[in-house]
Amino acid sequence: MDAFTIIPYILASLGIGGIVGAYGQYFFQHRKEIRSSEHDYKRQRYLCLMILMLTQLNPKVGLSKAKQFRSDLATIGDVQEEIKTEFFNCFIYANDDVRLYCSNCI
């Protein structure tokens, strides 16, 4: 083989490698962004549940604080119903181990 035959093969292999590398980088970056958004959502749900549970423990103070963020929570009964709703919503992003364990608790 002479140099004129090898050069097109080298250029073709570099081009395919670049395309595969770019696709791999895009795929991993996109997956990282999805996991970051998922983590932020989990954190938001966790903080919401903590506020609701603190309101349940100390209704006089907690209910006034909760009303600042959620005007629909007028009574402690509303808070209890919201806690039940959040309990079932927490299974959306839970690991399979958590789902299996908690399915026995319900």
Cβ–Cβ < 8 Å for 94, 45: no
Mean pLDDT calculated for residue range 79-95: 81
Q: Is the pLDDT of residue 83 over 80?
A: yes
What pTM does this model have? 0.58
Q: What is the pLDDT of residues 38-63, one digit of tens each?
A: 889 888 888 888 888 888 898 888 88
Predicted confidence at residue 89, as pLDDT, reads 77
- Distance of alpha carbon 76 from alpha carbon 59, whole angstroms: 7
Measured CA distances, 12 to 1, 18, 22, 51, 81 (Å): 17, 10, 15, 59, 63
Q: Which residue has the higher pLDDT, 53 or 6?
A: 53
Which pLDDT band holds residue 1 (cuts at 50, 70, 90)? low
Query: Quick check: 11 pLDDT over 90?
Result: no
Please report the pLDDT score of residue 104 as a whole number.
Answer: 65
